[in-house]
Chain A
Amino acid sequence: MGLSSISTAALAFLLVLAGSATADTCTQNRLHTTYPAPVAADGWSYRLIAHGLQRPRSILFDDSGALLVLESGKGVTRLTFDDSGGSCLGVKEHKTVVANAAVSGVTLRWFGLARLRTRLCPQLKLGADRAAQPRIADPQRLAAG
């Protein structure tokens, strides 16, 4: 399961992008976007799992499995979820870990997501000023909005 973050100027959301499309049987989470909904590519689905965040910029799991969110201008917030499988998550706890003293503003608007397939080519050799690196195949758009 992958995670991505989006925001508008006023409100911000977290959504989960899942690798397989499933029927919506999630009963604990009825959140919807208030702007034109993102479009997922074939075989991918997404669900809004948290809202009311202030300019979320970075996300990270801690060792207890909680999600830390850097809310720009606000600080570091910790979210735990009830997990009903797939993308069906709902916020269980919401706690401030580090608080900003003053509000600053950086706006992130989620536009698109692309997946690039990489293939490792171990036969590439290090050159004098070129390093071996993986080959990259054609990109695929996963979601846009």
Chain B
Amino acid sequence: MALIAQLNHGLQILNGSLLASTDNDVLSWRYDAGAGSVDTASQQVLVTNMTNSGHKTRTLLVTSNSQLLVSRGSAGNADPAAVEKSTGHCHIRSFTPSSTTADFASGGETVGWGLRNSVGIAEHPDGGIWSVENSVDNLSRQGTDIHKDNPGEELNYHGNVTNLRGANHGYPLCYALWGTDGFPNLGTLSVGDQFAVEAAEGVNVSPPTDAQCNTDYAAPALAFQAHTAPLDIVFDKNGSNAYITFHGSCEWCACGRANIQGTGRAR
């Protein structure tokens, strides 16, 4: 039995090794499935330097081509550091595990970024990588409080394991539209489109326009009702169904009565 501090969420198996994560590190141990035990002397740190305030889980996913995907969420609700790609905040990154510890932000390959807190990641049987996103709280747009029904939570597509897109999905500059009632300057936007908001505190770039949010950033494949907090996604064996768990929020909706819907279109 190995003794390690603060394992809090991630869990995978790769090539006979058990992988688990703290808020800062991805660790591995050789694992004997028959005995149900790890070789404590074999402990390695595969990825490091992931800690930030705010979101602490680092979801792990081992892909069909033996890559290790790691998801890191934001420091707080609206995280200015996420605008700068080199910080590694709000990324899903892909690593080839080796005996050398990788630095999260500078190592590996970008699967996607501008992802506020994408706790669920899954590989479809066809090799496509999908994630589910917990989007921002307390949002306003052009002086109007839109937080009750916006932004939508997201189902995002990241390309095939052999050809990852590495796209920016908008956070903290662009968000997915869910509720259109009372939405300021809706224009031609429809559910699932990206929209722009004024720069959050500490964000030092000019906000994009709605049009730029839809051309320069990756929109979700589906939007879900605001604050429903999707936490995991799995596909069935033939890939005809995805199963998503929603944590929900008793602050922003009537407990037990959130209407779980998704609308969107193939992009």
Contacts and interface: CB of A to CB of B under 8 A. Distances in A.
Interface of A: 2, 4, 57-60, 62-64, 66, 68-70, 72-76, 78, 93, 95-102, 104, 106, 108-121, 124, 129-131, 133-136, 139, 141-142, 144-145
A102 B18 contact: no
A126 to B, nearest CB: 9
Contacts of A145: 256
Given A111-B229, A111-B248, A141 B7 contact: no
A35 B264 CA distance: 35
Contact of B33 (A66, A76, A114): A66
B197 interface: no
B6 A104 contact: yes
A95 B266 contact: no
Contacts of B4: 75, 98-101
A134 B204 CA distance: 36
Interface stretch (B83-91, B95-103, B172-180, B236-244): B236-244
Given A111-B247, A131-B157, A72 B8 contact: yes
Contacts of B13: 60, 62-63, 68
A57 B9 CA distance: 5
B226 to A, nearest CB: 14
A122 to B, nearest CB: 9
The 9 closest A-B pairs by CB, nearest first: A111-B248, A58-B11, A70-B11, A62-B33, A64-B33, A63-B33, A57-B9, A101-B5, A112-B246
B262 interface: yes
Count class of interface residues, chain B: 35 or more
Nearest to B248: A111
B8 A75 contact: no
A47 B245 CA distance: 17
Contacts of A68: 11, 13, 18
Most buried by A among B167, B228, B246, B258: B246
Given A58-B10, A115-B241, A133-B266, A98 B38 contact: yes
A97 B36 CA distance: 7
A142 B244 CA distance: 10
Given A97-B37, A106-B57, A112-B248, A72 B128 contact: no
Interface in B1-30: 1-13, 18, 20, 29
Nearest to A144: B256
A134 B221 CA distance: 9
B242 A115 contact: yes
18 contacts: A58-B59, A63-B13, A64-B36, A68-B11, A73-B7, A75-B7, A97-B18, A100-B3, A110-B245, A117-B241, A118-B124, A118-B242, A124-B266, A131-B157, A133-B157, A134-B239, A134-B266, A139-B261
Given A106-B57, A111-B229, A139-B261, A60 B12 contact: yes
Contacts of B243: 2, 113-115, 142
A93 B34 CA distance: 13
A112 B8 contact: no
A73 B33 CA distance: 23
B245 A131 contact: no
B260 interface: yes
A57 B231 CA distance: 10
Contacts of A109: 247-248
Most buried by A among B8, B239, B266: B8
Given A68-B11, A133-B157, A139-B260, A108 B266 contact: no
Contacts of B235: 118
A98 B39 CA distance: 10
A97 B7 CA distance: 12
A98 B157 CA distance: 33
Given A2-B243, A96-B1, A104-B8, 6 more contacts: A72-B7, A78-B36, A114-B246, A115-B242, A120-B239, A133-B266
